[in-house]
């Protein structure tokens, strides 16, 4: 099962099942315990337990979705059910003790752990304190009237303590993952700045050569002048990238990456992997030309290299690997997929991105894609693991975005 902040679809579904199924079982047990005490007692138990469960599930929904207002509403409903469970004993024809809405209390206890994992403000802390108090105090009326119920106080207290502990540990784990993602972001920004020197030197040298050729050929050669202009424009993009990268290291948005790779590097990396891989490797590279900025080529090269490195580390026995790099309209689309073994296939349906617990490799790929205004994702679908990146060719290579 996953952390309380829900890093995978399977883990989230697991928490839903672990909350709702026991709650429904407790609801049925609570109603069954009043069978034989008469219709008034059974009806009262059904109403109190159902309202209590509704309140508990509202608390759970609010906590898992970060909706404090929904959680507060659930606390109010569950509190009313607890009070109602103490008052029904005065009804004509009611026999038995106070109805304790323990089905709703169970959902509330689980919700408390989620609330702790997601708490950000003093208001959130107040809601958590109210939830703990309600979970513990709800059993008191039933314990006073039915001494046998007093034995449930300790298990409820232990359950609350466990939920709080899991919430705190999950919160700490999430903070560590955020720190790793930030470390990766800073590392990538530093690497991007270091890479600029080689590229700008290459572009400026190219401009000088083209200019000399233009002088030698004559002023009328517009093709040479056009190529000089294109090369100068690419160098300008990279200089601006460096300015963005070195501007404020604490800026909220990722800086644009400098450049330093071309189509030939992508082809070489893909074919080199294909030659050394034990399984079957398919390589498809199409539509890459000089109109694609070097900044996009570099991002694609870094993402491709990281993807192939991950395959060597974690899926070296993959029987098939497919590498596709192609231009689609104004985007360069890169896809790397590999077959999964039986153990890895159990993680199917899980998608990861930066900051979601995927590790520094995927976080670095996402950072690279975002540096040129693109997107990257990695995840399992069926029996294959796929990394996909979409990198825009024009229009967003010098844009900073806020997170």
DSSP string of 124-180? HHHHHHHHHHHHHHTTHHHHHH-GGGGGGHHHHHHHHHHHHHHHHHHHHHHHHHHHH
Q: Lowest-pLDDT range, 83-97, 127-141, 198-212, 385-399?
A: 198-212
The DSSP secondary structure of 184-240, one letter per residue, reads: HHHHHHHHHHHHHHHHHHHHHHHHHHHHHHHHHH-TT-HHHHHHHHHHHHHHHHHHH
pLDDT at 284: 93
Helices (H), 88-121: 102-118
Chain segment 261-289, per-residue pLDDT in tens: 678 888 988 988 888 888 899 999 999 98
Confidence at 293, pLDDT banded by 50, 70, 90: confident
Q: Who wins on pLDDT, 210 or 250?
A: 210
Burial 354-376 (b: 16+ CB within 10 A, else e): bbbbbbbbbbbbbbbbbbbbbeb
| Mean pLDDT (whole number) for 102-107 | 88
The domains found in the chain, sorted by start residue, are 9-145 (no CATH), 177-403 (3.30.565.10)
Query: What's the burial of 102, exposed, middle or buried (CB within 10 Å: 0-12/13-18/19+)?
Result: buried
Q: Do residues 333 and 389 touch, judged by C-beta distance below 8 A?
A: yes
* Residue 281 C-alpha from the chain's centroid: 30
Q: Over the Cα atoms of the chain, what is R_g?
A: 30
* Residue 198 C-alpha from the chain's centroid: 35
Residue 57 pLDDT > 70: yes
Please state, in angstroms and rounded to a whole number, the distance separating the CA atoms of residues 370 and 374: 5
* Residue 236 C-alpha from the chain's centroid: 35
Question: Taking Cα atoms as reference points, which of 120, 125, 119, 112 lies closest to residue 163?
Answer: 112
What is the DSSP code (8-state) at residue 147?
Answer: G
| Mean pLDDT (whole number) for 313-339 | 90
pLDDT at 237: 62
Residue 359 region by backbone torsions, left for phi larger than 0, else alpha for psi between -120 and 50, else beta: left
Q: Do residues 186 and 194 touch, judged by C-beta distance below 8 A?
A: no
Confidence at 391, pLDDT banded by 50, 70, 90: very high
Please state, in angstroms and rounded to a whole number, the distance separating the CA atoms of residues 274 and 271: 5
Q: Lowest-pLDDT range, 122-126, 269-273, 303-307, 361-365?
A: 361-365
Please state, in angstroms and rounded to a whole number, the distance separating the CA atoms of residues 271 and 263: 12
What is the DSSP code (8-state) at residue 358?
Answer: S
Question: Taking Cα atoms as reference points, which of 207, 187, 184 lies closest to residue 357?
Answer: 184
Confidence at 239, pLDDT banded by 50, 70, 90: low
């Amino acid at each position: 099962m996953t952390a309380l902040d829900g890093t995978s679809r399977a883990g989230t579904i697991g928490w839903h099942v672990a909350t709702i199924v026991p709650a429904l079982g407790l609801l049925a047990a609570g109603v069954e315990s009043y069978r034989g005490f008469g219709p008034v007692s059974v009806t009262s138990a059904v109403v109190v337990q159902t309202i209590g469960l509704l309140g508990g599930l509202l608390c759970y929904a609010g906590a898992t979705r970060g909706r404090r207002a929904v959680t507060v509403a659930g606390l109010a409903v569950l509190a009313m059910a607890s009070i109602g469970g103490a008052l029904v004993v005065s009804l004509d024809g009611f026999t038995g003790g106070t109805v304790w809405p323990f089905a709703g209390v169970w959902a509330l206890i689980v919700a408390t752990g989620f609330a702790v994992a997601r708490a950000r403000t003093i208001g959130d802390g107040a809601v958590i304190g109210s939830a703990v108090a309600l979970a513990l105090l709800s059993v008191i009326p039933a314990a006073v009237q039915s001494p046998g119920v007093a034995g449930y106080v300790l298990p409820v207290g232990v359950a609350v303590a466990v939920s709080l502990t899991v919430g705190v540990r999950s919160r700490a784990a999430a903070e560590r993952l955020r720190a790793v993602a930030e470390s990766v972001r800073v590392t990538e920004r530093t690497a991007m700045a270091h890479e600029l020197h080689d590229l700008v030197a290459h572009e400026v040298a190219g401009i000088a050569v083209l200019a000399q050729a233009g002088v030698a050929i004559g002023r009328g050669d517009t093709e040479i002048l056009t190529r000089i202009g294109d090369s100068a424009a690419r160098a300008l993009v990279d200089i601006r990238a460096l300015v963005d990268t070195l501007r404020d290291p604490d800026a909220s948005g990722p800086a644009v990456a400098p450049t330093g790779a071309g189509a030939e590097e992508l082809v070489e990396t893909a074919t080199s992997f294909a030659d050394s891989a034990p399984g079957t490797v398919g390589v498809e590279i199409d539509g890459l030309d000089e109109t694609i900025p070097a900044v996009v080529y570099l991002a694609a090269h870094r993402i491709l290299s990281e993807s192939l490195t991950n395959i060597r580390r974690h899926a070296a026995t993959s029987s098939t690997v497919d590498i596709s790099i192609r231009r689609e309209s104004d985007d360069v689309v890169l896809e790397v997929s590999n077959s999964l073994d039986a153990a890895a296939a159990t993680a199917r349906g899980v998608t990861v991105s930066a900051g979601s617990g995927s590790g520094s490799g995927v976080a670095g790929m996402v950072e690279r894609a975002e540096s040129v205004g693109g997107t990257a994702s990695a995840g399992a679908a069926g029996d294959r693991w796929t990394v996909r990146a979409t990198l825009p060719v024009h229009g967003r290579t010098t844009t900073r975005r806020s997170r």
